Amino acid sequence: MPVTDYLERNCKLYGDEVALVELNPTIEDTRRTTWKEYDLVQTTESQPYRREITWSVFDEKANRVANMLLERGVKRGDKVAILMFNCLEWLPIYFGILKSGAIAVPFNFRFDAGEIQYCADLAEVDILLFGPEFIGRIESIADKLSQRRLLIYVGDHCPTFAESYHELVADCSSKAPLIRIEDEDDAAIYFSSGTTGFPKAILHNHESLLQAAQMEQKHHETGREDTFLCIPPLYHTGAKFHWMGSLCAGSKAVLLKGTKPDVILKAISQERCTIVWLLVPWAQDILDALDRGELNLKDYTLEQWRLMHIGAQPVPPSLIKHWRDYFPNHKYDTNYGLSESTGPGCVHLGMENIHKVGAIGIPGYRWKCKIVNEQGDNVKQGDVGELCVKGPGVMTCYYNDEKATEETLRDGWLFTGDMAMQDEDGFIFLVDRKKDVIVSGGENIYPVQIENFLSAYDKVRDVAVIGLPDKRLGEITGAVVSIKEGMDCTEAELEEYCLELPRYKRPKKFIFAEVPRNATGKIEKPALRKKYGVENLVAVENQG
């Protein structure tokens, strides 16, 4: 069954209940909303930046989008891209695309004009829907894009090079189109993070989407009374498929536009959120603000908050230990995954396994895992190898990239490129990205292990460990360290702290700077390696 069936079920059973809430603390005027039917958007004088829609409105909007696309000649398998910030319109548009039989293609809102053009060509996009924040980028390439694509603008004051979404959907039927969707039908194309160059296009079918939704609901026991807080961008598999647990349960979710600690806690308090997915930097910011006394938990209603989970990157055990100091009753989970595996969850810790913090966990619902050597043979328990996963959420292929597909998919197994090991209890620990392993004097050094160690130092806010060129050893270990606000830290301090590490693991260079992360919280290590190459390291040392 397609996940759109859950939306139609929720419309029938819970039609008058709230499905989605949008909170945008950065604006005060809800008249800037792009919904034309203002009576369908609930606002109050005391909450001028809050909007909501019910399940029935959600389904109605999705149907209008689907019928609009069909009227414009969209056929099964055509590609329809979305380039928008998180908002109430996003998910109804996404589901409308699915209901039409077309393939939804979410674009990273950080794409520049060149990347938009590249991804539109790679995925063979037929229609692009974009929001007001992207007019400039789209206008600069509109002549190229519009040669064989329809550009649809979702907002007020439609630019001349596009057609108006509101005008196109205004007279479309709100009834579900009679399009039969099978599990094996293509459903969505997502893009890899692009931290190593232009991204790959990752094709998933409807079975993948259903697997992600059901797995999320099962892993976190999402029920009708839960409220999920969604902060990361919906174009990413992590945010959308974590939300789909709420879709399965028929429960409310909140889209929050803001990542400041007080904004997050206020949203949890105001909307009575029970499940919150955070990225490591946001969780660390909350802890830092609490440590500095800038936040007082007594100012918020947080008793209902039962689960905090983290994904998208390795989680320092020290962070979770500190989190439990402030939130001792929270359940915790971490989720591992890739866009190629329909986002997080193919490996997960499990809420009952907090004693294994530091591990990414065990195979997720309906998933299998193995750890292999360079020859593809299983390694011994406790040895490091490449993590491979297999299950109903594995991608169909890299679209238009047969070579990359053959390298990554082998006999149904997805070779993740992540190095991992399994302990005696069967729990998997992520060691590092295969391409990020540092080889120094013949020794393999795994940056995540050093990052976790340095993250436990009370003055360190964030850290990234990379390999730096060295004539003698090939590579040496460099640590880019971001210090907590209001604190001073010296290289000598960190060197002394690292004496607890084996000599070969101790960083040989410390660079005090911000640690760049992408929209999903992953450290942009290629950018760091490029920035702190040999020439730049000399400059850094001279400045010191």
- C-alpha of 202 from chain center: 15
Give the whole-angstrom CA distance, residue 272 versus residue 7. 23
* pLDDT, tens digit (0-9, with 9 covering 90-100), for 84-136: 999 999 999 999 999 999 999 999 888 889 889 999 999 999 999 999 999 99
Is the residue at 450 inside a domain? yes
CATH assignment of the domain containing 103: 3.40.50.12780
Is residue 519 pLDDT above 80, yes or no?
Answer: no
Is the residue at 79 inside a domain? yes
Q: What are phi and psi of 15, to 5 degrees?
A: -50, -35
Is residue 435 pLDDT above 80, yes or no?
Answer: no
Mean local confidence (pLDDT), 44-49: 53
- In order of 169, 248, 253, 344, the CA distances from 223 in angstroms are 33, 9, 12, 20
Q: What integer best gives the mean pLDDT of the chain? A: 88
Query: Is 467 found in the same domain as 357?
Result: no
Q: What is the β-pairing status of strands 438-440 and 443-445?
A: antiparallel
Domain interval for residue 393: 332-434
- C-alpha of 501 from chain center: 32
Query: Is 103 found in the same domain as 146?
Result: yes
Which of 170, 199, 228 is the last residue before a domain boundary?
228
Which of 434, 466, 484 is the last residue before a domain boundary?
434
Which among 320, 432, 306, 416 has a CA at the least distance from the CA of 363? 416
Query: Is 515 found in the same domain as 417?
Result: no
DSSP per residue, 383-444 = S-EEEEEESTTS-SEETT-HHHHHHHEETTEEEEEEEEEE-TTS-EEEEEEGGG-EEETTEE
* pLDDT, tens digit (0-9, with 9 covering 90-100), for 262-278: 999 999 999 999 999 99
Query: Is 16 found in the same domain as 48?
Result: yes
DSSP per residue, 316-344 = -HHHHHHHHHH-TT-EEEEEEEEGGGTEE
> With contact defined as beta carbons under 8 Å apart, do 462 and 284 qualify?
yes
Which of 396, 412, 434 is the last residue before a domain boundary?
434
Write the CB contacts of 358 (distance below 8 Å, at least 6 apart in sequence): 315, 317, 429, 452
> With contact defined as beta carbons under 8 Å apart, do 126 and 155 qualify?
no
Query: Is 124 found in the same domain as 14?
Result: yes
Weakest mean pLDDT among 77-91, 139-153, 475-489, 528-542: 528-542
CATH assignment of the domain containing 514: 3.30.300.30
Give the whole-angstrom CA distance, residue 242 versus residue 228. 9
Is residue 36 pLDDT above 70, yes or no?
Answer: no
Q: How many helices (H) and strands (E) does the chain have?
A: 16, 27
Q: What is the β-pairing status of strands 150-153 and 127-130?
A: parallel
> With contact defined as beta carbons under 8 Å apart, do 314 and 288 qualify?
no
Task: Give the gyration radius of the chain's Cα atoms.
Answer: 24
Mean local confidence (pLDDT), 303-332: 89
CATH assignment of the domain containing 344: 2.30.38.10
Could you tell me the maximum CA-CA distance found in the chain, to the nearest angstrom? Answer: 71
Query: Is 195 found in the same domain as 338?
Result: no
Is the residue at 499 inside a domain? yes
Q: What is the dihedral sign for C-alpha 53, 54, 60, 65?
A: positive
Query: Is 454 found in the same domain as 400?
Result: no
Give the whole-angstrom CA distance, residue 390 versus residue 404. 17
Query: Is 407 found in the same domain as 472?
Result: no
Is residue 83 pLDDT above 60, yes or no?
Answer: yes
Long-range contacts of 293-298 (CB under 8 A, 24+ apart): 294/261, 294/262, 295/261, 295/262, 295/265, 297/265, 297/326
pLDDT interval class at 536 (50, 70, 90): very low
Amino acid type, 453 = F
Query: Is 509 found in the same domain as 421?
Result: no
Is the residue at 271 inside a domain? no
pLDDT at 505: 85
Write the CB contacts of 271 (distance below 8 Å, at least 6 apart in sequence): 21, 23, 227, 229, 252, 254
Is the residue at 257 inside a domain? no
Write the CB contacts of 54 (distance below 8 Å, at least 6 apart in sequence): 15, 16, 17, 18, 19
Give the whole-angstrom CA distance, residue 162 versus residue 151. 5
* pLDDT, tens digit (0-9, with 9 covering 90-100), for 109-120: 888 898 899 999
- Say if pTM beats, i.e. exceeds, 0.85: no
Is the residue at 211 inside a domain? yes
Query: Is 183 found in the same domain as 58?
Result: yes
pLDDT at 501: 85
Is the residue at 154 inside a domain? yes
Is residue 21 pLDDT above 70, yes or no?
Answer: yes
Q: What are phi and psi of 224, to 5 degrees?
A: -65, -30
Query: Is 453 found in the same domain as 423?
Result: no
Residue 216 per-residue DSSP state: H
Is the residue at 392 inside a domain? yes
* pLDDT, tens digit (0-9, with 9 covering 90-100), for 382-421: 999 999 999 999 999 999 999 999 999 999 999 998 889 9
Query: Is 423 found in the same domain as 513?
Result: no
- How many structural domains are present in the chain? 3
